[in-house]
Structure 1
Amino acid sequence: MTYLIKGLPNTIDVNGRKVAINTDFRTWIKYEEIMLKEDEKAQNQVLEAIDACLEENFMMSDLDELESLFDGFLWFYSLGKKTDGISKTKEEDKKESEFTNSSLVYSFEHDWAYIYSAFMECYNINLLTANLHWWEFKALFEGLNEKCLFSRIMSYRSIQITSKMSKDEKKFYRTMKKIYALPDERTVEEKENSFARSMMASMQI
């Protein structure tokens, strides 16, 4: 049954138990930031993530339950995409690669003003006061009008400069890339690997 009919989830499955989570989009922006901290100890990441994402205290009996909890976090964060720990099928990898190549050229930390203005322009939503479910926020985020400045910025960052472009085009896109470059120079793949390492480390404490 489609989520448009049954509504968006507010729990995750942890070894057969329904566990209430904080669905606010701010929580999952924080979750992403926590899991991408390379200088953070895995144990601290685990505790921060649990504290941020759970609506109530959750007693874990063993590491298997901890792993199931973080599988649930990852499932919710990725909008219900099937996950099996960190591993994915080749087909899921391909689909995720296609998605990330076009949409993960942003930083919630450094692009907050662009994102705020994009939501105001496209939806008249004030993100400083809005009450949005994470999945609702992401659906709107991915559907931003191509004409808004933030969409153009993401396009500049992701575009590949090729020999087929004219001299003026190459100059223009290099300039735009420089103007709108993010402080974090890691590639999408490196960020994904960093995220995966954090997830794997959290399973081994």
Structure 2
Amino acid sequence: MIDLTRKTLPNTVTVNGRAYSIHTDFRMWLRFFEDVKTMRSGQLVDVSYLFKNDMPIRCDVASLMEFASPHNEVPRGSGSDEIILDYRIDSDFIVAGFWEHYQIDLTSIEYLHWHVFLALMRGLTIQLRDIMQYRSYKKEDRKDIDVYEELKRTWEIIPPLTEEEQEELDEFSKTFGG
């Protein structure tokens, strides 16, 4: 959340009580989310590209997530961990939304602070917001809203397979010539 009572936006992360200067451009943080999304349990991820000068010897993802996903009081969600936005899959809609709503071309802008990017994302009122609503839809007892169930399925983000699932799929493919 952007704090308008402060003159500057945050540009550090704190790891083990020490502040480290970081790159704050939105592209760096989109890359970070892609890296985290594809990271396997217990795997180390190279995040050196986020740091400007020096970086901590050991940096946990939680410290970086505090900067990447700043707490915001509203809107209050259902608390669901369901994935309703994917910066890679939805990039066309994000670029279109920024252009339509703010006349900002994300493909050519030189710099945009990550927290400003997040604030602008929250303000989008175009198709991307609808897509996210379809993905988070929970069916109620009314029969007249079944169309949303189909829209949710159409726009759902399928999480990547775990290593174990991929191995099972590979074994199945070998066995049945797939």
Q: What range describes the TM-score normalised by the shorter chain of this pair?
A: 0.7 to 0.9
Residue 155 of structure 1: aligned partner: 133
Alignment equivalent of 1:124, drawn from 103, 110, 118: 103
The answer to whether the 8 A contact 2:13-2:63 is kept is yes
AA aligned opposite 2:104 = I
Distance (whole Å) between structure 2 residues aligned to residue 6 and residue 28 of structure 1: 22
Structure 2 residue 138 is matched with structure 1 residue 138: no
Following superposition, the deviation at residue 117 of structure 1 comes to 0.7
**CA deviation vs aligned residue, 1:120-153 (integer Å, no higher than 9, x gap):** 11111111122211111011111212xx111111
Please tell me whether residue 56 in structure 1 is matched to residue 29 in structure 2.
no
Does the Cα contact within 8 Å between 1:103 and 1:142 map onto a contact in 2?
Answer: no
Post-superposition offset of 1:10: 1.0
Report the CA distance between 1:183 and its aligned residue: 3.2
Residue 149 (structure 2) aligned to one of 174, 184, 189: 174
| Structure 1 gap ranges (5+) | 61-65, 82-91, 187-205
- Aligned residue pairs, count: 158
183, 188, 192: which is aligned to 2:158?
183
**1:198 corresponding residue in structure 2:** none
TM-score by length of 2: 0.73
**Partner SS, residue 115 of structure 2:** helix
After TM superposition, the score normalised by the length of structure 1 is 0.65
CA distance in 1, matches of 2:20, 2:137: 41
* Structure possessing the higher relative contact order (Cα contacts under 8 Å, 6 or more residues apart): 1
Unaligned runs of 5+ in 2: 162-178
SS in 1 for 2:23: coil
Aligned partners of 1:76 and 1:22: how far apart in 2? 11
Deviation larger for 70-79 or 25-34:
70-79
Deviation at 1:40, TM superposition (A): 7.1
**Residue 77 of structure 1: which of 45, 64, 68 is its match?**
68
Cα RMSD of the aligned pairs, angstroms, is: 3.2
Identity %: 27
